[in-house]
Amino acid sequence: MPVLKNAKHERFAQEISKGATADEAYALAGYSPHRSNAARMSANEHIRSRVEEILSKAADKVGVTVERVISELAKIGFADIRKAVAWGAGIAVADETGQVHVVNDVALISSEQIDPDTAAAISEVRKTKDGVAIKFHDKQAALVNLGKHLGLFKDRVELTGRDGGPIKTEQGPDLSGLPIEDLAALEAILAKASAEPSSGS
């Protein structure tokens, strides 16, 4: 889909693509704030198609694919800290002079020795007053996102009636005893009533 002919519509689509809310995009496109018009515009089929196109082009440009996102989440979700940190008795640690000492300590694996998948799972390495700290990306969040995408977790929705009570159903009048002519007349009345514009719009 090419650029939208209406410049304000195009600007609205561009702003939505950048993450603006419908209200924000509506104002940035040059319209006076109006919540229902902003919502209506965001539901417009041409604008939605344009937003999808903009987002798709942006994803293609930076190489974002579903497979790549899943792969990155898997690196975080299945990262093993033992591939980045060594601890316990008998760890060889070099001091500032280069002398190697065997100690009962915790040591980071050299960045040259860490495999790319483990490196991708690390969010931070920093020096502290007590040594060096390493932090991994949120493993649980990555696993939950992976599981949701793969359909491993099903959301359970419970429906209840008013104030948590049972759902009440009502059956309309029994029309099975009416003659065909009366049913046809009733159908015509209902069709006419639904075709007429309501007085509230």
**Given the structure tokens 């041409």, which residue do they identify?**
46
Distance of alpha carbon 47 from alpha carbon 14, whole angstroms:
10
Does the pLDDT at position 116 exceed 60? yes
Does the pLDDT at position 73 exceed 80? yes
Distance of alpha carbon 185 from alpha carbon 191, whole angstroms:
10
What is the DSSP secondary structure assignment for residue 81, as one 8-state letter?
G
Domain that holds residue 100: 65-157
Q: Is residue 195 part of a domain?
A: no
Q: Is residue 36 part of a domain?
A: yes
Q: Is residue 11 part of a domain?
A: yes
User: Helix, strand, or coil here: 38?
Assistant: helix
In a shared domain, residues 82 and 142 = yes
Does the pLDDT at position 76 exceed 60? yes
Q: Is residue 70 part of a domain?
A: yes
Does the pLDDT at position 201 exceed 90? no
Pairing of strands 100-108, 85-94: antiparallel
Q: Give 53-72 pLDDT, tens digit per residue.
A: 998 888 878 777 888 899 99
CB–CB of 142/117 below 8 Å?
A: no
Q: Give 146-169 pLDDT, tens digit per residue.
A: 998 888 887 777 788 888 888 888
Task: Please tell me the predicted confidence (pLDDT) of residue 149.
Answer: 85
